Amino acid sequence: MIEVNKIYHSFEIGKKEKKTVIPVLKDVSFQINKGEIVSIVGKSGSGKSTLLNIISGFIKPTDGEVKINNQTVTELSEGEFASFRLQHIGFIFQNFQLIPSMTAFQNVELPLTFKGMNEKERKQKTLETLERVGLAEFKDHYPSELSGGQQQRVSIARALVVNPPLILADEPTGSLDSDTEKSLLAFIKQLNEELGITFLIITHDEEVAEFGHRTIEIVDGHVLEEVGK
Amino acid sequence: MTFKDQFKFVRQNLKKNKSRLFMTVLATAIGVAFLIVLASVGFGLHKSLISDMMQNQLVTQVEIYGKEDSQGLKNEDITYFEEMDGVEAVTRRNELAQMPFFQLDDYTSNTNAIVTHFPSEIKADFKLASGRLPEGENEVVVGYHFTESLIKNGANPEKLYDDEGNINEDYVYTDDLLNKEMDMEVIKLTDGKETKKTISVKIVGIAEKPARDWAYEEHVFISEEILQEVEQFTGVMRGASEMYEGGELDANQSEEVYDYVKVYANNVQEVEGINKALEDKGYMIYSIANEMKQINVIFLIMKIGLIFIGTIALIIASIGIYNTMTMAVTERAPDIGIMKAIGAHPRTIKNIFLLESTYIGLLGAIFGTIVAYGISFLVNLCVPFIIQTAFDEAAPEGFLLSYIPWSLTLISVGICLLVTVFSGLRPAKRATKVDVLKAMRREL
Ligand SMILES: Nc1ncnc2c1ncn2[C@@H]1O[C@H](COP(=O)(O)OP(=O)(O)O)[C@@H](O)[C@H]1O
Ligand SMILES: [Mg+2]
């Protein structure tokens, strides 16, 4: 599903003479198979988010390549990557990243609109997906009128609505209390088992890490892979 | 993303800041209205002038003065004109070179005497109001206004006209003119000595009122024979009262020469071709169509200038659109970041913002056009009134200060859209450049 090959990345900060280069990822390589739930763990600042952002196409790596579904995504232009994300990747973010001026329904509908799906099909699919995450009755609520857990479920619905084979999540439980966190994890498990969706989840939470099939630990920009339970 | 969805999306976005939308649309509408109203003055004056010219002079008419290296226009020239493509009629007139006095009962008229070729006049739309065409050599047809030139003998010259410039009623001839006998008096001057000759003529017809209001026709159409009689009496060409150099009656010049020749085209479209053919042949002509061509060029330049100035107003309005769009992009940067993250193509983002600025431009153009039509209507309503009060004179009939043809509306809306799309380009481009990660961290 995902192949990460010899990824190097460093950030440059400051301007001209004062410029300093911060190396973050050094020779990172690993593979993730279809249907796996893989957790990425590591200390804060170890480069986990940077790695996920490279896989997502939000950052271009300094060197190395990433393949998703046999497509070398690191070669894609910005526009091509956007279309690729629309077709293949769902996202769950730590602070949900819902558009505040749109209702739950409109937020979930948005990726289908981008795809150019016709209105009737789109409405039906959106409603189905909201039902799946158990929020059908909250469809006309704005994000500010929903709890954290509900917002996160809206964002999961938005990720699911295009039927992606892969979902990337950067600390999805970071803003949730422990009860909500538990039910979210259970839901991820369910989606993985029922729909065969591959999950790559960043966390610094022991509980989250243990619940996946496999854990990849980043230390100092290097990969320390641990075999799954 | 389909166009329909983009459009819906844009409308939703615009609803979020109605006052800003309103102000931007207002600025654009003012710009468009200014452009249209300003340029409409050029169109209005042009139209008024042209229609005025069309009214005052026949557009299908070409006057021919003569031919280079030639002694006046002869029958062969007339034949040539008559055989040209698109020519309806060729009229030719000669005028008696002195103004005779016509005595009718107790009234006298001092007016021109003209010889004409009636068949061609009739082809050129000459009509009689009453009576018939002359048959005998002493029969004449008078112009429609001939009565008004008849003044009672012994009238007090100071009381001849009233305050408004009309002839004093007491001196006006009111009787029927038809079948009245008149004495036509011509004079001859030899060494300062005046001799008179009187020829008796009979009015058999009265010409129809000229189609053009301003035209005033009080002349008398006499026969060729009477003209010759006067020529014999004075011994000068065209019956002038006094001999001048070259005015001798030339016995060898048996061929007729015409003083006033006019060619009438079948329709306006033919005039240009006729003019060109005549000019190529070396004829000296005057045609209102030629004049109009120059006027059209001048007005075209004027219109372009006015549109250019009006466009400046639109460019100023477009700064408002640029500002609005830049603010919209800044405000919505977090949303744009999210949309890009979940797979919106940069092109889609760009299209949405371009559509938004175009939509604002279109709204401005629509309202501006409506307002412009309103202002134009009011201006045309008020201007005759203003002219009336300021100059104490009625505005010319059909005068339009402001005229908005479809082409002007289209040009203005086109310029407006062009300017607004252009001003929306940079903000739209900026929207596509929004950094996903920064936007999601709310760092923008
Ligand atoms: N845009 C950036 N510019 C400069 N340095 C950055 C940027 N993003 C991350 N870093 C640095 O890269 C390192 C890794 O960051 P990150 O990947 O966010 O770590 P983690 O998610 O594991 O906490 C940190 O030292 C951070 O300061
Ligand atoms: Mg992180």
B57 pLDDT exceeds 80? no
pLDDT digits (tens, 9 = 90+) for A97-152: 999 999 999 999 999 999 999 999 999 999 999 999 999 999 999 999 999 889 99
**Residue B401 is assigned to a structural domain of this protein:** yes
Mean pLDDT in chain A?
A: 91
List the structure tokens of B58.
């026949």
The predicted pLDDT at position B397 comes to 72
Q: CA B68, CA A219: separation in Å to the nearest integer?
A: 106
| Each residue's pLDDT tens digit, B148-177 | 888 888 777 777 777 776 777 777 888 888
Nearest CA to ligand 1 atom 9: A50
* Structure tokens, B59: 């557009």
Bridge partners (DSSP) of residue B89 are B264
Contacts of A52 in chain B (CB under 8 A): none
pLDDT at A227 over 60: no
Closest-CA residue of B relative to A82 is B343
Instruction: Take atom 16 of ligand 1 and give the residue whose Cα is closest.
Output: A47
Q: Do B101 and B144 share a domain, yes or no? A: yes
Could you tell me if residue B274 is inside a domain?
A: no
Q: Which atom of ligand 1 is nearest to the CA of A170?
A: 21
In chain B, the number of structural domains is 2
In terms of domains, do B127 and B245 share one?
yes
- For the whole prediction, is pTM greater than 0.80? no
Residue B289 lies in a domain: no
Complex ipTM above 0.85?
yes
Closest Cα to atom 21, ligand 1: which residue? A49
- Read off the tokens for A196: 């065969």
Query: CA A18 from chain center: how many Å?
Result: 34
End-of-domain residue from the set B266, B282, B316? B266
- Does the pLDDT value for residue B444 go beyond 70? no
Q: Per residue in B14-45, pLDDT tens?
A: 888 899 999 999 999 999 999 999 999 999 99
- The rounded distance, in Å, linking the Cα atoms of A92 and A97 is 8
Domain check: are B131 and B210 in the same one?
Answer: yes
**What whole-number percentage of chain A has pLDDT above 90?**
72
Residue B320 pLDDT exceeds 60: yes
Q: Can you give the pLDDT at residue B388? A: 83
Based on the domain organization, do B51 and B66 belong to the same domain?
no
Q: Are residues B133 and B262 in the same domain?
A: yes
Confidence (pLDDT) at B170: 75
d(CA B14, CA B25): 11
| Number of domains chain A is built from | 1
Percent of the residues in chain B that have a pLDDT greater than 90, as a whole number = 55
Return residues with CB closer than 5 A to ligand 2 (ion): A 49
User: What pLDDT is attached to residue A143?
Assistant: 95
Q: What is the pLDDT of residue B323?
A: 92
Please calculate the CA angle B285-B289-B294 and round it to the nearest 5 degrees. 100
Let me know whether B144 and B88 are in one domain: yes
Distance of alpha carbon A206 from the chain centroid: 19
pLDDT of residue B175: 85
Partner A contacted by B441 (CB < 8 A):
no
Residue B253 pLDDT greater than 80, yes or no: no
Q: Which of these, A185, A136, A194, lies nearest to A163 by C-alpha position?
A: A194
Say if B272 falls within a structural domain.
no
Report the range of poorest mean pLDDT among A152-156, B57-61, B320-324, B329-333: B57-61
- pLDDT at residue number B55: 66
> What pLDDT score was predicted for residue B251?
60
Clarify whether residues B76 and B217 are in a common domain: yes
What number is the average pLDDT over the span A197-217? 85
Cα A148 to Cα A126, A153, A175, A176, A177, distances in angstroms: 20, 9, 7, 6, 9
User: What distance in Å separates the CA atoms of residue B47 and residue B153, rounded to the nearest whole number?
Assistant: 47
How far does A122 lie from chain B, in Å, by closest CA? 12
Q: Quick one: pLDDT band at residue B202, thresholds 50, 70, 90?
A: very high
Residue of A nearest to B13 (CA): A101
Q: How many angstroms separate the CA atoms of A11 and A16, rounded?
A: 14
Q: The tokens 């060409």 sit on which residue?
A: B237
Please tell me the distance from the alpha carbon of residue A158 to that of residue A163, in angstroms, as a whole number. 10
Residue A223 belongs to a domain with what CATH number?
3.40.50.300
Q: Output the ligand 1 site: residues, CB below 6 A.
A: A 11, 13, 22, 24, 42, 44-50
> If you take atom 1 of ligand 1, which residue's CA is the nearest one?
A11
For residue B249, what pLDDT is reported? 79
Tell me, yes or no, whether B215 and B232 share the same domain: yes
SS3 B183: strand
Which structural domain range is residue A8 located in? 2-228
Same-domain status, B344 and B248: no
Q: What span, in angstroms and rounded, lies between the C-alpha atoms of B142 and B113?
A: 9
Which has more pLDDT, B290 or A31? A31
Residue B235: predicted pLDDT? 87
Domain residues for the domain of B210 are 61-266
Residue A226 pLDDT: 64
- Tell me the C-alpha to C-alpha distance, in Å, between residue A168 and each of A131, A171, B440: 22, 10, 15
Mean pLDDT value of segment B283-302: 87
What atom in ligand 1 is closest to the CA of residue A48? 22
- Residue to probe by mutation, ligand 1, list A49, A58, A202, most atoms within 8 Å of CB: A49
Instruction: Output the CA A153–ligand 2 centroid distance in Å.
Output: 21
Question: Domain for residue B275, yes or no?
Answer: no
- For a mutational test of ligand 1's pocket, the pick from A15, A19, A22, A25, i.e. the residue with the most ligand atoms closer than 8 A to its C-beta, is A22
Rounded to whole angstroms, how far apart are CA atoms B109 and B177? 13
